[in-house]
């Protein structure tokens, strides 16, 4: 029961990307724990002003450890998305955890919603911290695409790459919307940011591998508190991706050069395992594919012990 409650709190906070007013006490408590966790294991926490953004970033600089950049998914902030990875991975690596632009405490007035812009601003922030070493890069979901784009743009600075349930190369708006319709939701945008209780239920069906009872009243509160405030910017980000999907599908992301671990939930209803399988079959000499049979779009939480172990083994 305790594990189920923690899973529920974690899941809701995946979508608490921006500070809101009148935050329910339980979520304030959870975020306080998340902050305590990240401050316990990472030495520094700051906001770096780049050329076009303010990047909130937590990191360590231990000269005896290699660097690992972790890029969170759409809707998340870094400390929550990676709450199950911070403690074990920080023992082996200097973790770098930025909030992506337009998420968490990172912001920009540029109106640039490209993945390339995310990479440019995050890399600039890292360099301004004086970190010039090569990095391992790991990303989940939208962060998986951002990680792949980092490798596309700066492959010479990347050691190894890890993509978890990422919409990379073989993902499209048509595929996304077809998956949404299977769960009774009109488009993938309504899965990312549901606007009704019915869409909320569809989103849970697509991404959560554990069924947790929830009242309609709580669902309505979550829609108003977490999803509605972010809808405009999330829709803009999704529209940008799909309007330019031919460009993003054309890239090879240097996956034919960089050793890459692909991690997927076999039952993922948002970014299907077929994307991971096709990436692996296209780049068989440089990629490994790890599939968790019971996970959906939540392998980094549902199977965190096995996933953390696999990451450490792959990067060592």
Looking at the structure, give the CATH architecture of the domain made up of residues 2-16+34-315. Answer: 3-Layer(aba) Sandwich (3.40)
| pLDDT tens by residue, 219-244 | 898 888 888 988 999 999 999 999 99
The alpha carbon of residue 56 and the mean position of all alpha carbons in its chain are separated, in whole angstroms, by 15
C-alpha dist (Å) from residue 225 to 13, 129, 240, 298:
11, 34, 25, 22
64-73, 143-152, 202-211: the lowest-pLDDT one: 202-211
Which position has the higher pLDDT, 17 or 101?
Answer: 101
Mean pLDDT of 97-105: 95
Q: Which of 148-162, 188-202, 217-231 has the highest mean pLDDT?
A: 148-162
Residue 213 has pLDDT above 90, yes or no: no
The alpha carbon of residue 237 and the mean position of all alpha carbons in its chain are separated, in whole angstroms, by 14
Which position has the higher pLDDT, 225 or 128?
Answer: 128
Question: Token pair for residue 98?
Answer: 């930025």
Ordered by start, the domain boundaries in the chain are 2-16+34-315
55-59, 154-158, 207-211: the lowest-pLDDT one: 207-211
d(CA 38, CA 223): 27
| pLDDT tens by residue, 118-127 | 999 999 999 9
The answer to whether 274 touches 204, Cβ cutoff 8 Å, is no
């Amino acid at each position: 029961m305790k594990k189920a409650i923690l899973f529920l709190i974690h899941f809701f906070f995946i979508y608490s990307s921006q500070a809101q007013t009148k935050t329910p006490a339980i979520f304030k408590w959870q975020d306080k724990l998340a902050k305590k966790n990240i401050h316990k294991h990472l030495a520094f926490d700051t906001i770096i002003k780049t050329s076009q953004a303010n990047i909130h970033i937590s990191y360590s600089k231990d000269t005896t450890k290699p660097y690992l950049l972790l890029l969170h998914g759409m809707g998340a902030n870094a400390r929550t998305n990676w709450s199950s990875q911070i403690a074990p991975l920080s023992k082996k690596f200097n973790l770098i955890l930025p909030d992506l632009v337009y998420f968490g405490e990172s912001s920009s007035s540029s109106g640039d919603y490209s993945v390339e812009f995310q990479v440019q601003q995050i890399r600039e922030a890292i360099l301004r911290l004086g970190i010039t070493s090569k990095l391992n890069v790991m990303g989940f979901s939208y962060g998986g695409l951002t990680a792949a784009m980092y490798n596309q743009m700066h492959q010479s600075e990347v050691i190894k790459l890890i993509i978890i349930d990422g919409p990379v190369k073989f993902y499209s708006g048509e595929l996304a919307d077809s998956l949404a319709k299977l769960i009774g939701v009109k488009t993938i945008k309504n899965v990312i940011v549901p606007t009704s209780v019915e869409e909320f239920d569809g989103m849970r069906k697509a991404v959560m591998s554990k069924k947790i009872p929830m009242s309609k009243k709580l669902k309505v509160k979550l829609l108003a508190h977490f999803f509605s405030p972010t809808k405009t910017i999330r829709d803009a980000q999704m529209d940008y991706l799909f309007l330019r999907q031919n460009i993003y599908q054309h890239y090879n992301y240097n996956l034919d050069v960089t050793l890459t671990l692909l991690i997927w939930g076999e039952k993922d209803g948002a970014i299907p395992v077929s994307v991971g399988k096709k990436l692996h079959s296209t780049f068989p000499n440089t990629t490994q594919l790890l599939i968790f049979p019971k996970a959906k779009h939540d392998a980094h939480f549902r199977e965190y012990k096995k996933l953390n172990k696999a990451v450490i083994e792959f990067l060592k």
